Amino acid sequence: MRAARHQRGFSLVAAVFVIAIALLIVLAAVLTLSARNRSTVQALDASRALFAAQSGVDIAIARSLGGGCGAVPASVDIEGFTVALACSSPPPVDEAPDVYEIYTLTAVAQRGSFASNTFISRRVRATVTQ
C-alpha cells in the first residue's frame, strides 16, 4: 500500500509537464505564423513602394521632356506614398548637327515611420534624352 501512496504525485507532475510542452508548441506555432504574416505584409508594401517610385519617375519623365527640369514637381502623393522627385541636367550635349539635353531623374517613395517599425522606402533612377 505504501508504494501506491508515493505514486499519486508523479501523475500530477507528468500532466503539468505535458501541458507545459503543449503550450510551448502552440506558442511557437503562433509566433511563426505571426512572423510569416508580417513578412508578407512587408513584401507587399515594398512592391507598392517600388511601383509608386516608378510612377513618380514616369511623371518626372513626362514633365522634363515637356518643359525641362523646372517643370518637374518637388514631390507627389501616390497611393499613400510621398514620392520625392529630383531632376538634374548637365549642359546640353553637342554632337555635330544635333544638340540635345540629358536628364537624370530620381524618385524616392516613402511611407511610415522608423518608430512604429512601418517605414518603407524605394528609389528609382532614370536617364532620358530629348
Q: What is the pLDDT of residues 21-33, one digit of tens each?
A: 999 988 888 888 7
Is the entire prediction scored with pTM above 0.75?
no
Tens of pLDDT along 52-96? 999 999 999 999 988 888 899 999 999 999 999 999 988 888 888
Site of grid cell 505535458:
18
Say if residues 73 and 129 touch (Cβ distance below 8 Å): no
The three-state secondary structure class of 126 is strand
Say if residues 93 and 110 touch (Cβ distance below 8 Å): no
The terminus-to-terminus CA distance of the chain in angstroms comes to 101
Q: Which helix (H) or strand (E) holds 94?
A: strand 93-95
Say if residues 60 and 70 touch (Cβ distance below 8 Å): no
Buried (b) or exposed (e) across 32-55, using 16+ Cβ within 10 A?
eeeeeeeeeeeeebeebbebbbbb
The domain limits of the chain are 2-129
- Cα separation, 26 vs 21, in Å, equals 9
Per-residue confidence (pLDDT) for residue 111, from 0 to 100: 93
Say if residues 129 and 65 touch (Cβ distance below 8 Å): no
Per-residue confidence (pLDDT) for residue 12, from 0 to 100: 79
**Chain centroid, CA 99 distance in Å:** 40
